[in-house]
Structure 1
Amino acid sequence: MNIIVTGTRGIPNIMGGVETHCEELFPRIAAHGVNVTVIRRKSYTHDNLKEWKGVNLIDLETPKKKSFEAIIHTFKAIIKAKSLGADIIHIHAIGPALLTPLARLLGMKVVFTHHGPDYDRDKWGKTAKFMLKLGERMGTTFANEVIVISNVINDILIRKYNRRDCHLVYNGVPKPEICEFPEYFEELGIEKGNYVLGMCRFVPEKNLHHLVEAFSKINHGNCKLVVAGDTDFEDDYSRNLKKMAKENGVILTGFIKGKKLHSLLSNAKCFVLPSSHEGLPIALLEAMSYNLRVLVSDIPANMEVGLNKDSYFKVGDVSELSNKLEDIILSPYSTVKYDMSKYNWDEIAKQVLDIYKSL
């Protein structure tokens, strides 16, 4: 079986939920003896790798333009996939899915993974939102098989397009790598068990400005707020967020992976995700895998995880977020044990492999 993957910026160590999903999934599928190639956007790669953990990597030049790069890259990737003799092209996200009919016309089978209704993201204008909705329609209508990462998305596709045969395959989370990194904590100026962790891209729908505002309003003593992440495209929102964070003593780590990230996840007092839009947030699943207390907005994707009611606050309600955050900060350090069995990447890889085999 020859599988070509597009719709992701690339792997490994590239920021983004789809990128993390692909980084975990495709080496596991390759380990089953499947020939897997991920086509990357060259402007995001920081290496000259041709292969990683059994996955072939091909870089294609793509203009780094927010509104055009995904569709241009996908077009070039589909043409490349045809030349490589792909049996199946696996397209991730609704923007790239706009070109699903092209892949079908060229004789390839298509698997489309819907990671969330990106047209709800605040960063897109009217034209982009229209094209994303059209991409969702093209992917859902013309893909041979459709994967959804949550029941919320499945319900959308049934309601809007009457597609009732989608495969529910959750995002996963790897086993936690519990570790200490005192030198890094000293560099950041934080203490083990005495900081709040946020972790995501700096885009409006993540509502990090609400987290910073909520933290600034409360009695947090010497507890710190640490935010891990950055933005792909520096804009007014990300610049204002960084300015706001600096003015309120928030610690920004930038985009981090590996031991630095694992140490922050191992020792945080709680994890906060105030998003107004998610598919099924890998960052939340990661925090849960480290047994962290979590505080998240009550959007459908977060509610689907099934946390206790005290772990949710009304999306956009900074006062409720402040009050719940203060309660956690002033209470003794504690952990929570979650059932993570349905988020096992090895089992998820088998589910996706079965979908490939069915084609």
Structure 2
Amino acid sequence: MKICVVGTRGFPETQGGVEKHCEILYTTMGKQCPVEIFVYRRKPYIVCTPKYKNIHFVDLPSTRIKGVEAVIHSFLATCASIIKRPDVIHYHNIGPAMFSPLARLFGVKVVMTYHSANYEHKKWGKIAQLLLKISEKIALSCSNEVIFVNKYQMQKSPQKYISKYVYIPNGIPDTRILQSLDFIHSLGLERKKYILAVGRITPEKGFDLLIKAFAKVNTDYKLVIAGGVETEIGYMEELKQLIKPERIVFAGFTVGDKLSQLYSNAGLFVLSSRNEGFPIVLLEAMAYGLDVLVSDIPATHLVDLNKDDYFDLKDEKSLVQGIIRKLTNNSSRAYNLIDFDWKKITQKVYQIYQSLR
């Protein structure tokens, strides 16, 4: 079976939840299923090109201009995919899937994974939001099957397409608890004496809320934000002005053993997002046994957490009090994560492909 993948910037070592999702899904599928997978990557984001079983990378021109890169790349990738005559083109998210009618016109079956309602993100202007909403309608109507990583998004999507919908959550990335401390020491950190937040530096991640709240907490803990900044340079500069520099560490985009060290030695994990599809970083934190404090949004209710693990986005005191409470009673935790096995998730996606042959 030949599958073309459109909508990711690429992998490995490329920042983003969709990128991590695609990396784990397709490397797992390539190992355990009889498939030939073509992943269309955006040249400006390519870091390296390792060999994976049954995966071929096709690197196409792109730009880093916000709002333009996905449109240009998705169009080129759709055209290149059609030429290959695949069994399925799998689009990741509603923006890239605006070109699904072109694929259907040439008789190619389409699967779309709905990661998040991008038009709800603050970084997009009114015109971009309108285009994303139009893309959503196109994607839902033209896709043969629609996978939702968030069941709440599935429930509020147009029910006239419900026969196409299936809920398949994200899974837990491989986790290795590391005893080494060289990386965290290089950042001026001590084991179990810092709060960790992970994600791309954009307004929807709510890092401004987290920093403002942490600045009001009297503690010797530090705050670590592991994530890179791309187009939101102004937002990053605003974040730096919200707190004394000695209290915070901007670790940048972090992967591999360095990220494992940050997770392995954190005292608390905080997810302050205003909007999420299904945060893989939260699953990672839970897999490492970290205590967590998360914003009360639909996506964070996709996992089994306690009432006091949530804070109210509209109430800064709720976040301040949550941090104080968690640091006062800090401890490791065990979570039920049986539903988030990537091998099982991969089989479910592969079965969808098979059903379209």
Q: Same fold (TM over 0.5)?
A: yes
Where does residue 173 of structure 2 map in the other structure?
174
Give the 3-state SS of the residue equivalent to 1:138 in structure 2.
Answer: helix
Where does residue 7 of structure 1 map in the other structure?
7
TM superposition shift of 1:204: 0.5
Where does residue 188 of structure 1 map in the other structure?
187
Per-residue CA deviations over 1:212-243 (Å, capped at 9, x if unaligned) read 111110111x2111110012214321221234
TM superposition shift of 1:28: 1.2
Whole-angstrom CA distance in 1 between matches of 2:189 and 2:27 = 35
Give 1:64-213 correspondences, 5 Å limit. 64-159=64-159, 161-213=160-212
Where does residue 242 of structure 1 map in the other structure?
240
Give the 3-state SS of the residue equivalent to 1:283 in structure 2.
Answer: helix
Whole-angstrom CA distance in 2 between matches of 1:337 and 1:209 = 29
Q: Is the 8 A contact 1:197 1:272 kept in 2?
A: yes
TM superposition shift of 1:34: 0.5
Where does residue 317 of structure 1 map in the other structure?
315
Letter in 2 for 1:350: Q
Q: Is the 8 A contact 1:30 1:36 kept in 2?
A: yes
Q: TM-score, normalised by structure 1?
A: 0.95
Letter in 2 for 1:299: I
TM superposition shift of 1:304: 2.5
Where does residue 342 of structure 2 map in the other structure?
345
Letter in 1 for 2:311: F
Q: Is the 8 A contact 2:103 2:109 kept in 1?
A: yes
Q: Is the 8 A contact 1:2 1:36 kept in 2?
A: yes
Q: Which one of the candidate residues 262, 265, 275 is aligned to 1:264?
A: 262
Unaligned runs of 5+ in 1: none
Letter in 1 for 2:180: F
Whole-angstrom CA distance in 1 between matches of 2:212 and 2:108 = 49
Give 1:348-359 correspondences, 5 Å limit. 348-359=345-356
Give the 3-state SS of the residue equivalent to 1:163 in structure 2.
Answer: helix
Letter in 1 for 2:301: M
Q: 1:50 to 1:308 in 2, by over 3 A?
A: closer
Q: 1:158 to 1:164 in 2, by over 3 A?
A: farther
Whole-angstrom CA distance in 2 between matches of 1:335 and 1:203 = 29
Give 1:22-101 correspondences, 5 Å limit. 22-31=22-31, 32-47=33-48, 49=49, 51-101=51-101
Give the 3-state SS of the residue equivalent to 2:218 in structure 1.
Answer: coil
Whole-angstrom CA distance in 2 between matches of 1:22 and 1:205 = 21
Q: 1:199 to 1:75 in 2, by over 3 A?
A: same
Whole-angstrom CA distance in 2 between matches of 1:72 and 1:246 = 41
Letter in 2 for 1:265: Y
Whole-angstrom CA distance in 2 between matches of 1:20 and 1:162 = 28
TM superposition shift of 1:180: 2.2
Give the 3-state SS of the residue equivalent to 1:225 in structure 2.
Answer: strand
Per-residue CA deviations over 1:261-283 (Å, capped at 9, x if unaligned) read 11111121110011110011111
Give the 3-state SS of the residue equivalent to 1:231 in structure 2.
Answer: coil
Whole-angstrom CA distance in 2 between matches of 1:158 and 1:326 = 41
Give the 3-state SS of the residue equivalent to 1:67 in structure 2.
Answer: coil
TM superposition shift of 1:126: 0.5
Give the 3-state SS of the residue equivalent to 1:341 in structure 2.
Answer: coil
TM superposition shift of 1:306: 2.8
TM superposition shift of 1:162: 4.4
Per-residue CA deviations over 1:131-154 (Å, capped at 9, x if unaligned) read 111111111111011100021111
List structure 1 runs of 4+ shifted beyond 6 angstroms. none
Per-residue CA deviations over 1:7-57 (Å, capped at 9, x if unaligned) read 00001110000000001000111121200010000011123x274344111
Q: 1:14 to 1:68 in 2, by over 3 A?
A: same
Q: Is the 8 A contact 2:141 2:161 kept in 1?
A: no
Give the 3-state SS of the residue equivalent to 2:3 in structure 1.
Answer: strand
Give the 3-state SS of the residue equivalent to 1:343 in structure 2.
Answer: coil
Whole-angstrom CA distance in 2 between matches of 1:14 and 1:46 = 7
Whole-angstrom CA distance in 2 between matches of 1:175 and 1:8 = 20
Q: Is the 8 A contact 2:195 2:267 kept in 1?
A: yes
Q: 1:177 to 1:50 in 2, by over 3 A?
A: closer
Unaligned runs of 5+ in 2: none
Q: TM-score, normalised by structure 2?
A: 0.96
TM superposition shift of 1:245: 5.0
Q: 1:93 to 1:299 in 2, by over 3 A?
A: same
Letter in 2 for 1:68: V
Where does residue 252 of structure 1 map in the other structure?
250
Instruction: Give the share of equivalent positions with the same residue, in percent.
Output: 40
Give the 3-state SS of the residue equivalent to 1:52 in structure 2.
Answer: coil
Q: Could you tell which deviates more after superposition, 242-251 or 148-157?
A: 242-251
TM superposition shift of 1:190: 1.2
Q: Is the 8 A contact 2:12 2:47 kept in 1?
A: no
